[in-house]
Amino acid sequence: MTTTVVLGDTLTAICSAHSILDKLPQENIHLVVEKAEMGLIGEGPGLYEEWPPCPPHWISDLASQAPTDDSTAVRRSWFEKSVGTELSRRGCVIHLRTRVTLVEEGQVHFVGAGPLGAASIDYDSLLDFRAQPEGEVEWSGAVCRTADAPPGEIRGDRSDGTTEIWKPGIMKAGGIWLQEMTWVGEDPRTALTRDIEHGISEACALADTIIQKPTRQ
């Protein structure tokens, strides 16, 4: 059994770890996250064309946020929490409130909230998703009751009776908003799927190299 370390608190990072476990069930995986918990902190686009947008066994109970047949969006923070929870159940070790201080060949050093304070992990393979997008469009988002959703905007309807709205630039004033967000990326309509697919793609490429290379002594 070899060890893979995944760095980052994004949906892409979580999905890459799931995908590695699908291909290599015996792999020892560590996910290093600076946030205090998976999901539920911040909000991004949750629009989708087909549900589920990832393999069903990656998703734990979404409770009141579980999409219905009429839904076209899921509350992304809850979705990320759900996928992260299921990742832990599958055996991935998740290090919360943990900041990486140094990445060396074969070893990651970090400080965190655990009893040791500072520690390190030896690894055979590494995926790093900490970099933030640059030079992309900044979008304004808002959540409102579906009955109050304005026409003509990029939107997705959730199962809880709310709708998320997205537009480039600044959101018009005067809306009856329950929540306002900002997000940087190409297109909120495809953001959820693209982030998942990116994680799967990176994981598949890494899994192939793990299979082919000898185990570190």
CATH (domain of 121) = 3.50.50.60
Report how far apart, in Å, the C-alpha atoms of 139 and of each of 49, 125, 153, 162, 195 are.
Answer: 20, 35, 12, 19, 17
pTM of the model: 0.92
Q: Does 9 reside within a domain?
A: yes
Q: Clarify whether residues 118 and 20 are in a common domain.
A: yes
Domain span at residue 24? 3-132+190-212
Q: How many CB atoms sit inside 10 A of residue 55's CB?
A: 13
Identify the bridge partners of residue 168 per DSSP, sorted by sequence position.
Answer: 139
The 10s digit of each residue's pLDDT in 62-102 is: 999 999 999 999 999 999 999 999 999 999 999 999 999 99
Q: How many CB atoms sit inside 10 A of residue 117's CB?
A: 9
Question: What total number of domains does the chain contain?
Answer: 2
pLDDT at 85: 97
Average pLDDT of the chain is 93
Q: Clarify whether residues 43 and 106 are in a common domain.
A: yes
Token pair, residue 139, equals 């979008």
Q: Is the predicted pLDDT of residue 215 greater than 60, yes or no?
A: no
Q: Clarify whether residues 12 and 84 are in a common domain.
A: yes
DSSP 16-30: HHHHHHHH-TT-EEE
Q: Clarify whether residues 53 and 89 are in a common domain.
A: yes
